[in-house]
Amino acid sequence: TVRQYFEQRLESTATQDSPSSKRQRLEEGDDSNLLEFKQQQDRVTTVIDSHTLCVAYNIGTLVGKMHAAGVVHGDLTTSNIMIQNPPPTNDITNQETEQRSWEADLVLIDFGLATSTNSTIVTATAASNNDASNNIKKPHKQQHSAEEKAVDLYVLERAFLSTHPESEPLVEEVLKGYREFFEGLGSSNDGSSEGTYGHVAKAIFNRLEQVRLRGRKRECFG
């Protein structure tokens, strides 16, 4: 799973402090920073490199595709995303080329809590009485589902931050992949248009800010 992959990509950021300097502080009675020292010694951080960023970005794209299909997962965590193709090892001959060419192939699992928003991003409307304009594709109203999708993103965001140390850059990459997926929907081949459905992502991110605010209030006041 993605969780197992990120857990394998940890590195220590322990502060280098010799036993002699530690003993000196004790002898001098300076124990004010001992707890902080112990916490620093035990601290680890998730590696941020081209591989982990690729996984994070593709998670955002995958979640965007799911939401565009009108499905809300309900339990988005890194434990519920599988990596189909392992990334290249660090001892490959041409590492830089391999890193650029590797794309994480991800699959979402465990849809036990999933729900349908009954609102896909794009739908074909029925033709009506010689009005050809009614036969084009147009976005559904998303107000009722933006909240559910924002909660999905919030759960995933909290899963990253609580499970994977120092993973804020990965969260940003997830949200970037999600946003750019929607911005790419309906865009022209020459790249002159940023996409017809960028407003959908904007509505979801606005709701996400509200969900975050409610979450902070719960943390502060219970």
Strands 10-12, 122-124: parallel, antiparallel or unpaired by DSSP? unpaired
Between strands 122-124 and 137-139, the pairing is antiparallel
The pair phi, psi for residue 51, each rounded to 5°, is -70, -50
Active site (annotated) includes residue 42: no
Tokens 């990965």, residue located:
170
Instruction: Using the CB atoms, write b or e for 115-136: b if 16+ within 10 Å.
Output: eebebbbeeeeeeeeeeeeeee
Q: Of 108, 110, 106, whose CA–CA distance to 52 is shortest? A: 106
Q: According to the 3-state scheme, what is the secondary structure of 55-89?
A: HHHHHHHHHHHHHHCCEECCCCCHHHEEECCCCCC
Among the listed residues 201, 199, 108, 117, the one whose alpha carbon sits nearest the alpha carbon of residue 156? 108
Considering 49, 75, 131, 152, which one is annotated as catalytic? Answer: 75
Angstrom distances, CA of residue 38 to CA of 24, 70, 80, 166? 16, 47, 33, 18
79's tokens: 């434990």
Residues tagged active-site: 75
